[in-house]
């Protein structure tokens, strides 16, 4: 084997594998971000349901829909806290919290956008539409 003829082959091999490695890194980061957002939405819905089950009087929910949305998005009724996910107040939809058979139900839907640029999303044939992250929680009213 002639060493001079082998010079630069590792650089060519690295250049061939670099797009695949970058694709793998981007996809893993995208998946991790989606799991983080889903976990944040799920935990905030659980906290809101627990709060509503504690403060409700005579098994009726005394908060308005806007207050429940603030509770899910920011962790407080006034909406002055930090948003759990980006653009939570504008994007997240929180249907009316319901109370049925001594249980309170809170649910939320958040359209999570892809982090990758649109060119990469189009290249990979991923849907450009946001992914719907849904969470729901049921808590029993306190005795």
Mean pLDDT score of the chain: 83
Tell me the per-residue pLDDT of 75-129, one tens digit each, with 9 for 90 and over.
888 888 888 888 888 888 888 888 888 888 999 999 887 776 555 666 666 666 6
Tell me the per-residue pLDDT of 72-81, one tens digit each, with 9 for 90 and over.
898 888 888 8
* pLDDT confidence of residue 82: 87
Q: How far is CA 106 from CA 16, 33, 88, in A?
A: 50, 23, 16
Tell me the per-residue pLDDT of 46-64, one tens digit each, with 9 for 90 and over.
998 888 888 876 777 777 8
Name the region of 91 (left: φ>0; alpha: ψ -120 to 50; beta: rest).
alpha
Cβ–Cβ under 8 Å, residues 138 and 104? yes
Distance CA 14, CA 17 (A): 5
* pLDDT confidence of residue 112: 82
């Amino acid at each position: 084997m002639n060493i001079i003829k082998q010079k630069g082959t590792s650089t060519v091999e690295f250049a061939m594998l670099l797009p695949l490695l970058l694709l793998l890194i981007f996809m893993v980061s995208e998946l991790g971000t989606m799991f983080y957002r889903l976990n944040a939405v799920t935990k905030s819905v659980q906290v809101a349901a627990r709060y509503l089950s504690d403060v409700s009087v005579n098994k009726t929910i005394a908060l308005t829909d806007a207050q429940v949305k603030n509770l899910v998005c920011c962790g407080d009724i006034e909406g002055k806290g930090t948003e759990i996910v980006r653009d939570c107040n504008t994007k997240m939809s929180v249907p009316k919290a319901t109370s049925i058979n001594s249980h309170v139900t809170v649910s939320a839907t958040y359209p999570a956008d892809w982090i990758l640029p649109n060119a990469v999303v189009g290249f990979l044939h991923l849907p450009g539409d946001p992914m719907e992250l849904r969470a729901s929680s049921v808590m029993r009213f306190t005795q």
